[in-house]
Amino acid sequence: MLLGVGLTMVFVAGCGDDGDDNDAVDTAGEADASADSGSTDDAETGETATGDSGSDSGDDDTGGTDDGDDSRAAAPPEAGAVVVVNGEEFTFDQEIVCVDMGGALGASFASSAAEIAFDVSLPPEDWESRVDEGWDPPSVRLDDDRLDMPVSWRAGDDVVDSMSGIPAEVVVTSFSVDGSSGDGTATVVDVNTVGVTDPVVSELAFEFSCG
């Protein structure tokens, strides 16, 4: 949050430097005019040197202003998420929604490269000691619709909780929240296998940041 102060100090320092540059340019112009005083076009040469110096000084001032504008226009890091499951890494570069409330953080991301989506909902880290406030357990969901048999890895959400035969270890095993960013691990189940075969379970790790 000190960015504005820093830019102001740079701008003030730049103004001081401009004054020194102008003095140097004027001195150089006088020296050029004096050196050329013996030629036939003394006055004309002196005017040309002085005019060029003034033009160069103006260019320097403009460059200083542009530097300040570039600093103000610098964008924050882009939002996104990285999820690893079964040794495969999924990268998400499209933030759909992000909600930060009371220490809890929920977000949804999509991938521009394929039909893949990631959803995560994290309560405050001390949520278990605040059950009277109605916090839900942490949950994650990774959907991959690229295959003939779509995959939906989940842990902690209502769909998993309502299914029978889900292994007890299918939960978000660890997580942390830092402002608008979060990370964690989970044991997830592919809900599309439940009731069809033995539930397929895997380990999942995630990290994300909201814009």
Q: What does the DSSP 8-state code read for residue 197?
A: B
**End of a domain among 23, 53, 73?**
73
Q: Are residues 85 and 174 in the same domain?
A: yes
Do 66 and 110 fall within a single domain? no
The tens digit of pLDDT for each residue in 50-95 reads 444 444 444 444 444 444 444 333 333 478 999 999 899 999 999 9
Using CA atoms, how far apart are residues 31 and 60, in angstroms rounded to an integer? 21
Residue 26 has a CB neighbour count (10 Å cut-off) of 14
Residues 189 and 121 in one domain: yes
Residue at a domain's end among 34, 53, 73? 73
* Domain total of the chain: 2
Average pLDDT score over the chain: 74
Same structural domain, 32 and 100: no
The pLDDT score that the predictor gives to residue 118 is 97
Asked if 85 and 60 sit in the same domain, the reply is no
Q: Which of 14-18, 112-116, 151-155 has the lowest mean pLDDT?
A: 14-18
Distance CA 161, CA 159 (A): 5
Structure tokens that stand for 76 in this block: 């924050």
Residue 13 is predicted with a pLDDT of 35
Domain, as residue range, for 96: 80-209
Same domain, 112 and 31: no
Q: Does the structure show a pLDDT above 50 at 210?
A: yes
Q: Which tens digits make up the pLDDT trace of 146-158?
A: 878 899 999 999 9
Last residue of a domain, one of 73, 94, 111: 73
